[in-house]
Amino acid sequence: MRTPARPHHEARHVAMPLGGIGTGTVALGADGGLRQWQLHHIGNHHGDLPGSLFALRLSRGEPPMDEIRVLQAPAAPRSETATPMVDDDAVPRWQRELAAEHGVVGTRFRATYPTAELEYDLGDLPLQVRLKATNPLVPLDEAASSLPVAMFTFTLTNPGTTGVHGNLAATLHNAVGYDGVSPLEGVSWAGYGGATNRVVRRGGWTSLVGENATLAPEHPGAGQMVLSCDSDRAAVLTAATSVEEVLAFLRRRSWDEDAVRLRPTTADAQTESRPVSGPSPAGRTWLGALAPQFSLRPGESTRIRVLLSWHFPQRYVDFTQFGPDRAEWGPTRFWLGNAYTNAHADALDVTADVTSRWDELVAATTDWTDLLSGSALDPTAAEHLATQAVVLRTPTCFRTADGTFYGFEGLNGRSTAGHAGDVGGSCPMNCTHVWNYAQAVARLFPGLERSMRETELHVMQVPAGHPSAGALPHRVVMPAYLRQFWDVPIGGPEEPALDGMLGCLLKTYRELRSGAVDLAWLEREWPRLVLLLDHVRQRWDPDGTGVLRGVQPSTHDIDLRGVNTFMGTYWLAALRAVEEMARRLGGPERVALADSLHELFQRGSRGYDEICFTGDYYRQVLDEGEDRTYQWEAGCLSDQLIGQWWAHELDLGHLLPVEHVRTALRSVVRHNLRRGFHDLEHSQRVYADGDDTGLLMCTWPTGGRPEVATRYCDEVWTGVEYQVAAHCRREGLVEESEAVVSAVWARHDGRRRNPFNEIECGDHYVRSMAGWSVLEARTGQRFDAPSRSLTLRLPEQEGSWWPVVLDTGWGRAVREGDTVRLEPLSGHLEVDRLEVRPS
């Protein structure tokens, strides 16, 4: 089942990104508009390529009719849609004006990412138009999921009693050479000039190829853009300077010599490529348009496919990094490149590849979306959990030319405008304590998380022989061959984040269990992992009590102090994870280490429970004389059991007494889930307001809030909400879990926030990828690749299924009586031991 399509006026904030891993994106709005163009290696939610649109000319002989519509619905005033910290409802002025004059009556939108469906309301025009827009997403297939394309399939149906004919037009602003940031006035910008559009007709497709031969090959904007349609007889306008020219082109009853003729001559067909436009003048670029014909008898339908592809290989370090200034960052322009451009020579090569495999790529993507939407997950859950792959495929994440995977915390936007501006990446790079929450990448594309572990252990970690050997700074300096943050302040927090270090150990074990790495890899990296663990033990638990004390830099961008189970459960989970890895590697020394770590874990578990558990939840206890600034003490922190969430993800068992854990979780939801924010005095950023429901980061149910309370305490973070919701479900607290996760999804239903953009310190924020753990908690899914064992909860109804993603493939776990049958849809589901637990 799927949720019903929603009218555009109920989905004003919807903007679904279309693009692959590391390729950049363009977003499709629920109104049919294309916006948030982010193809040039930089995040910019206001990125706009004026004149890029879809339009329709519809004609009929008798009774006479000749109408043009821009396929975009009118926009609402921003005053009716504005929401704090987000701007997904922003519609460029030219689109507002154009849709008001020439737009359709309305649209209806629904999506299971990465595929959106639009229905256009054309009023009394005798034509039905539907659009499917997608970009290939095939879990475990990085190549297919990294294609720099947006694929559009229009279905036109004549519901009337007389024949109709016309043209579907697609237009594109040639942005080769653009910087991705500067405001554009139509086709004008000071950096433009020399742009050309040429026509290629090949294999039943017509392509408009945007280029600029005046740019040096190393120019950041050098590359190619291609707009194509599946007709070799499409009319083409190669060099327009305004939307009005494009509409005039559509109105023509005969196609003059300024445009490629409606029906190419034999000579045209034999000459596959011929340039038409001259170079654009200084300060300008060109719009180009394709207009394939259609003719429909009563009741007939036709399909028109449009493909947008791009290829921009020259990525540089063009973002401000943390830490002190470095001389080499001044005059030097560091090249990073893009992995996605290694696979194809240019955008025309991308086009040839994708058009030859169109049905195959769409079918594989549809298998994925159908797996989710047809499963035993409810429709709302399926659609929102599908969006867990979005962040990975926005400019938040990228792969350099050598294939290494990197990620900002998010993209600068409205939520960062006050301190970091609203363009570019937020808080570079590979921030360990934020990525601690993200689970989606590890399941969908485990090789990318392996890349991050290798960067942490081979680049970021302080090497042996250094005074702080083994420490893991929580950010990487780009390019990676420069000296790292080994002995300088970092920022957010100043010293290496302890939760990030412990998270590296947990994520390494996750990668082993997921199949991203094997025991041979673990054997090679083992000395570095032990060095990291030794650093933590020597600095924060030198006496071997099992309880960490002292200054503990954390994801809250502050130093935690005293005894607290936020850091404490991370620590306990990390001890168990390293213990398990040591046992798997085997050998007397590793087994002895595992035994000693287990004893340390037991001491720590007793210590944290005795010191911090109040009978209601786990509080923070400061040692005498410690600074109370930015602490929570008697407060109820929503993240107080984050390590236990991790322990369940890794099948490590309970870290603290099970009844205490469940009591504390119930208390987190009871005290911190707030319904209505009208009377809350926000001390930080506003991520929930008005009638929203959301989980506050920390409250003080018994009083005692410090004068300077822990940072971000009055905020609502989706990543924390997801981890609490998943943890509740793992503990059998279904009602609490549903209350939290339904609040997240209600806030992001498209009315006031974008379901494809869960923000925090930036848009498309990495922490939100904790949501994948909700899917696995609902399905009871745990997988261990080395032993090929899979645990699942039995779906409730016979024949219903859960989605399953392993390292070798993905597909359905279909209920058959009291067990399940594994049915692969991609690859194979290789399992030696299957445990099915009651629903």
Class of residue 646 by CB neighbours under 10 A (exposed 0-12, middle 13-18, buried 19+): buried
d(CA 786, CA 815): 25
Instruction: Give whole-number Cα distances, 828 to 342, 497, 556, 792, 809, in Å.
Output: 28, 39, 41, 17, 5
- Residues 766 and 799 placed together within one structural domain of the fold: no
On whether both 283 and 426 belong to a single domain, the answer is: no
- For residue 717, what are the domain limits? 404-779
Q: Are strands 833-837 and 789-793 parallel, antiparallel or unpaired?
A: parallel
Question: What pLDDT, on a 0 to 100 scale, did the predictor assign at position 167?
Answer: 97
230 and 194 Cβ atoms separated by less than 8 Å: no
Taken as a whole, the chain contains a residue count of 839
Percent of the chain with pLDDT over 70: 97
Are the beta carbons of 614 and 542 closer than 8 angstroms?
A: no
The answer to whether residue 377 sits within a structural domain is no
CATH of residue 103's domain is: 2.70.98
Q: What are the beta bridge partners of residue 763? A: 411
CA dist 57 and 237 (Å) reads 15
- Quick check: 19 and 25 in contact, CB under 8 A? yes
Last residue in a domain, options 299, 332, 361: 361
The β-bridge partners of 816 are: 819
Cα–Cα distances (Å) from 833 to 29, 822, 830, in that order, read: 45, 12, 9
Q: 746 and 796: one domain?
A: no
pLDDT of residue 331: 65
The answer to the question of residue 397 being in a domain is no
* Residue 22 pLDDT: 98
Q: Do both 760 and 818 map to the same domain? A: no
Predicted confidence at residue 436, as pLDDT, reads 99
Q: Is residue 428 part of a domain?
A: yes
Looking at this protein, which amino acid is placed at residue 659? E
**Structure tokens that stand for 587 in this block:** 């050998």
Q: What is the CATH number of the domain that holds 571?
A: 1.50.10.10
Q: Are residues 191 and 247 in the same domain?
A: yes
For residue 409, which of 694, 44, 711, 759 has the smallest C-alpha distance? 759
Residue 393 lies in a domain: no
pLDDT value of position 488 = 94
d(C-alpha 474, C-alpha 476), whole Å: 7
Residue 145 is predicted with a pLDDT of 99
679 contacts: CB under 8 Å, gap ≥ 6? none
Read off the tokens for 151. 């694929």
Burial class (CB in 10 A: 0-12, 13-18, 19+), 731: buried
Total number of domains constituting the chain: 3
Q: Mark 575-609 as b/e (b = at least 16 C-beta within 10 Å).
A: bbbbbbbbbbbeeeebeebbeebbebbebbbebbb
Q: Do 546 and 479 fall into the same domain?
A: yes
Q: Does residue 621 sit in the same domain as residue 546? A: yes
Whether residue 714 sits in one domain with residue 803:
no
For residue 571, being part of any structural domain is answered with: yes
Give the contacts of 384 (CB within 8 A, at least 6 positions apart). 744, 745, 748, 755, 771
What are the tens digits of pLDDT across the range 131-153? 999 999 999 999 999 999 999 99
* Per-residue DSSP letter, 585: H
Answer yes or no: do 512 and 547 share one domain: yes
- Specify the residue for token string 């987190």: 668
Domain boundary among 753, 779, 805: 779
CB atoms < 10 A from the CB of 481, how many?
A: 9
Phi and psi at residue 575, to the nearest 5°:
-60, -45
Q: Which amino acid is at 787?
A: S
Ranges of the chain whose pLDDT falls below 50? 255-275
670 domain residue, yes or no: yes
The tokens 């960490």 sit on which residue? Answer: 548
Domain assignment of residue 52, yes or no: yes
Q: What is the pLDDT of residues 224-234, one digit of tens each?
A: 999 999 999 99
Whole-number Å distance between alpha carbons of 389 and 221:
27
Q: Are 742 and 793 within one domain? A: no
Tokens read off for 612: 């911090």
Between helix 498-514 and helix 642-649 the angle, nearest 10°, is 20
Same structural domain, 202 and 79: yes
Domain finish residue from 361, 387, 420: 361
Q: Which among 218, 451, 164, 412 is positioned nearest to 334, based on CA atoms?
A: 218
Half-sphere exposure of 109 (CA within 13 A, CB side): 30
Asked whether residue 750 is assigned to any structural domain, the reply reads yes
Asked if 352 and 476 sit in the same domain, the reply is no
Q: Which two tokens stand for residue 322?
A: 């943390």
State residue 254's pLDDT score: 52
The beta strand positions in 442-489, using DSSP E, are none
